[in-house]
Chain A
Amino acid sequence: MSRASSARSERPWIPLAVAAGAIAVGVGFAFGMPAYVVFVSTSVLVSMVSLLGLGIVTGTAGMIALCQLSFAAIGAWILEFLYLDTPLPAALGPMAFIVFMLIAGLVTALLGLIVGLPALRLRGVNLAVITLGVAAALDATLQKISFPDHGVAHIPRPFGLGYDPQGDRAYFIFAVVVTVVVALIILAIQRSRTGGSWKSVAFSERGTASAGTSVRTAKLSAFALSAFVGGIAGCLIVGQITQVNYLTFTPINSLGLYVLSIVVGSHLIDMALFGGILFVLIPEILKQMRVPLEWSSIAFGILGIQALTTNTNLGSTIRAAIFRRRRQAERQRAAESDVTSTLTTTTHEAPIPAGTGRPLLVVENLTVEFGAVKALTNVSMTVEEGTILGLIGPNGAGKSTFVDAIGGFLPQHRGTATLDGQSLDGLPPHQRARAGLRRTFQQDRVPPTMTVGAYVRFVTRGTADALAIDDALAFFGCPEASTPLSVVDVGTRRLVEVAANLAARPKLLLLDEPAAGLSHDEHIAFGDRLRRAPGHFGSTILIIEHDLDLVRSVCSTITVLNFGEVLATGDRTTVLSNPKVIAAYMGETEML
């Protein structure tokens, strides 16, 4: 079952076949339809490319950007500048347009990078306000400097295409090819680790960093690629209209594009393409009915509010429906062949793993202060390679602070930490993760926009192949790789998180209350798997847990924290019978 699902996600020829089909349809359309329809349909392609670009930042990476058409304006401006104010067109001949388009895209990407810089500290609507401000400022600037064409001449089209019906048809095919190439590139990137980092950063920055991915790179790459595609869209507009002015790129149009992006869910490539059709079709229908075109924006506004109030978009609604049907069909098949899953049953109980005797993590004098409050005071600890160490203590003892500090999320701490002889001091979280130190979170940090398999691939940073992924998922009894995480319940997501991090085969994995939300039976199964994990994955584990039964059943060594200090440490029976530990736990219900 699992293998079949992995195979389904690995059929790279499908997008290429769809792309080839799309180009064939485009050619047929270009010569089969009236000239006017072909010309208008070029606008559909331009909108598609704009939405594809916006989908990267707003849909995939979850940041509100209200300046997508500003990027298009910059791209268009650069293309015109290169054509009219440089000697390059003569030198490049028929290839000039394509070369200029790429240059324009790259320069726009650079500017996108700059616009994206504030996103490293500013989030959500703050970022929305700033991007809107940028859009307004650029609008005023473009009014003053105006486009290089000065409304005088037609900017030449690629390959010397004319501005007549024949040229319109050929340019449409050119635009189809550009759109298809852009869509393919974005699809490939979305399926790559970079794409995973966008989806991850949209849901949680901490989760992204602890998967070994730089949050900064994720955000800036999203902005840069989005701007690049925006610049390409601007060039396509110039090629279609052969002249532009600032009114083509007003902030209001950017707002409209953003709202449309919400309606269709433009991070999904097919939906971005569909949105492009809507963006042109609705005004076109209004035009044929002789209705002022402003009504199309009003329609988009209503659709946007409808989409937001129901918290859906066309794309995910359709996908969820398809998934449910597939699920149903599979379940039916499974019932017919009468195969029952035996994933959760285990044959014999594994022993508590013994270590190699080598110290893996050495922490010395770790101190963390939040203002006047000391969260951790001179905590020293050694984790032995190949063991499972339990870190326990009453609420507020500093356990999670310890994990945060070791994970690199509290750079202000004092003291030192070394992993396998390598100093961790001063390293940001994603570099600690790459050095072999992984962690999971108490809170849900698993992005629901990915599938289980894609998430594991992202967390392992591509080191695990399909077999290894299926193995890790089966090891913890997780849903199969093709399951969307959005349909997985929160408790199971935590298991997927643990499985994914172990599949990355880290030297040390810090688990922060991984079993919260599991039933008693699941607890027992989880404990058994955990005991076998160091042997199976070659990782050492440090676990924070409130459930002392679980701790007792998996850990060879236990460290107790109380009021930010180490209260006791040693093998589990000694520590758990220590009177000071019992005193610290008085009143805590989990004890005994």
Chain B
Amino acid sequence: MRINRIKLGATVVVAAGAIVLSGCTADSPGSTPATGEPIKVAALSGLTFFPEAPQAVQAVFDDYNDAGGFKGQPIEYTVFDDKTDPAVSSTAAKDALDGGAVALVGSSSLLDCAVNHTTWEDNNIVSLQGTGVDPFCFSTPNIAPANTGPYFDTFATLYDGSENLGFSSICAAIVPDDEAGKSAYEQAIAAWSAETGQELAYIDFSLTRGQASYAGNVAALKGEDCDAIMVGEVGPAVTAFLGEAANQGLSLPVLVLTSCYSDEFAAGVTYAGDIHVPAEFSPYTDPNDESNTDWAAVMDAHAVPKTSFAQGGYLAAKYFIAILETIDGHVTRDSFTEAARAMTEPIENPMVGTPWIFGEGDSHQANRSAWPLVIEANTNTWTSLGPWLIGDDLGWVDTTTG
């Protein structure tokens, strides 16, 4: 029996340590001028992958509550960690619904949409995704992300490469995640081919998440006749990929996706070629940029790291408030969903190139714009290039329709 007590003791110690170390994820108590019945909203995020997305949402809501909330009602925000595991994610979805959330705001996850989109539909609740990744974020009726997603991103990256930067023989290495992801990428690539008449010189879909070495993939690329390489992975993996490429003596220009746009990526990368990215939001690293002024002020005031995930969370929260303020009566799950669907006027924000709307429709991809930036060879800072690449101008049509 003694042993039990020791074990319980150990658990408590660990748990206590956990609270101390992580004391920034949850609702911060304090004086809230809005004191009415709280409006409950939730998010399902991979807290280890996107920690600052829900923090950014919380920052916006805190300011909103301090300013009186919605007719005196504060917004109560709850974040669930989905651990990037479908089992945990679907459990968390039930938890969020059980807790009475009226909407999901700023969820940032690799798989939330795929796992839970039917749950949202069954329960008539909408999700204003902060950073959506899997194809179901852009092809289902109850989810509308603030970001552009990897498929438009792929299209814009390739378009920028072939049309603006003039590469004629682009090779690609992409992590497909699964069959659905792979076909979504293939459709985006096909859309680019249809629009520009270009073909990829070589494509490697054999990458996996958490790969221990990219030596084989890089060696395979070297054997092809490429004038630029597109790498479809997240920032840390691209860093490793480019490190291996540098080790094998490569210095071709590289085209990467928007998730690489962060200061940490620029600081960590070691590569002797240009690295191009079209960012899904306006470039916050650009000292001349003014579109991010309010965002930067809010993030600084609440000590939230400034990243593109924080931009996505901030925008999702702003969009939520905009829809909320169109509701006349009681704020419920049904009334909010109805208000979102009833949207006809899109919301303008200088942080994105295209205005955002939920509205009717069985799929939502309001953000169809990207801002080109570059890390020049052997440097570690972002240089803003611009101007906006707008989906409609590039000939982008939604490719991920189920």
Contacts and interface: CB of A to CB of B under 8 A. Distances in A.
A140 B7 contact: no
Interface in B203-221: 206, 208-209
A31 to B, nearest CB: 16
Provide the main secondary structure of the chain A interface.
helix
Contact of B80 (A35, A39, A263, A287): A287
A412 interface: no
Given A244-B87, A286-B18, A303 B98 contact: no
Interface string A122-151: 000000000000000000100110110011
Interface in A238-264: 240-245, 247-248, 263
Contacts of A168: 94
Residue among B3, B6, B119 having the largest count of chain A Cβ atoms under 10 Å = B3
B61 to A, nearest CB: 15
Contact of B25 (A140, A147, A291, A310): A291
A295 interface: yes
A353 B86 CA distance: 72
B26 A144 contact: no
Residue among A36, A237, A298 having the largest count of chain B Cβ atoms under 10 Å = A36
A152 interface: yes
A34 B6 CA distance: 32
A177 B185 CA distance: 43
Given A150-B179, A243-B115, A39 B122 contact: no
Contact of A286 (B15, B79, B111, B119): B15
Given A34-B98, A247-B86, A314 B7 contact: yes
B118 A291 contact: no
Contacts of B83: 293-294
B81 A243 contact: no
B54 to A, nearest CB: 10
A290 interface: yes
B1 A321 contact: yes
Interface string A8-30: 00000000000000000000000
B48 A144 contact: no
Contact of A298 (B14, B48, B85, B114): B14
A291 B19 contact: yes
A354 interface: no
Contact of A248 (B80, B86, B94): B86
Interface string A575-587: 0000000000000
B94 A306 contact: no
Contacts of A290: 22, 25-26, 78-79
Interface string B22-53: 10011000000000000000000001100000
A302 to B, nearest CB: 5
A35 B111 contact: no
Given A151-B134, A299-B15, A312-B3, A293 B122 contact: no
B7 to A, nearest CB: 6
Interface in A255-290: 263, 282-283, 285-287, 289-290
B209 A143 contact: yes
A163 interface: yes
Contacts of A306: 6-7, 10
A289 B19 contact: yes
Interface in A462-508: none
B92 interface: yes
B199 interface: no
A228 B175 CA distance: 32
A371 interface: no
Interface string B89-104: 0111011011000000
Contacts of A244: 86-87
A7 to B, nearest CB: 29
Contact of A292 (B1, B14, B22, B134): B22
A247 B83 CA distance: 9
A321 B2 CA distance: 11
Interface in B182-212: 206, 208-209
B111 A247 contact: yes
A247 B110 CA distance: 11
A143 B208 contact: yes
A150 B26 CA distance: 33
Contacts of B48: 292, 294
Contact of B22 (A43, A291, A314): A291
Nearest to A310: B3
Contacts of B90: 241-242
Given A143-B208, A144-B206, A247 B85 contact: yes
A151 B114 contact: yes
A241 B92 CA distance: 11
Contacts of B397: none
Contacts of B97: 36
B292 interface: no
Given A306-B6, A314-B4, A299 B177 contact: no
B280 to A, nearest CB: 22
A87 B3 CA distance: 54
Contacts of B3: 310, 312, 314, 317
A35 B26 contact: no
Contact of B84 (A247, A291, A303): A247
Interface in A553-569: none
Contacts of A151: 111, 114-115, 134, 136, 178, 180
A394 to B, nearest CB: 49
B88 interface: yes
Nearest to A40: B91
10 contacts: A34-B98, A144-B206, A163-B118, A283-B88, A289-B19, A291-B22, A292-B47, A295-B22, A314-B7, A317-B4
Interface of A: 34-36, 39-40, 43, 140, 143-144, 146-147, 150-154, 163-164, 168, 237, 240-245, 247-248, 263, 282-283, 285-287, 289-295, 298-299, 302-303, 306-307, 310, 312, 314, 317, 321
Interface of B: 1, 3-4, 6-7, 10-11, 14-15, 17-19, 22, 25-26, 47-48, 78-81, 83-88, 90-92, 94-95, 97-98, 111, 114-115, 118-119, 122, 134, 136, 177-180, 206, 208-209
Given A245-B111, A292-B25, A302-B10, 19 more contacts: A35-B94, A43-B91, A143-B177, A144-B208, A146-B180, A151-B178, A163-B122, A240-B87, A243-B115, A247-B86, A287-B95, A290-B78, A291-B15, A291-B22, A295-B14, A299-B10, A303-B7, A317-B1, A317-B4
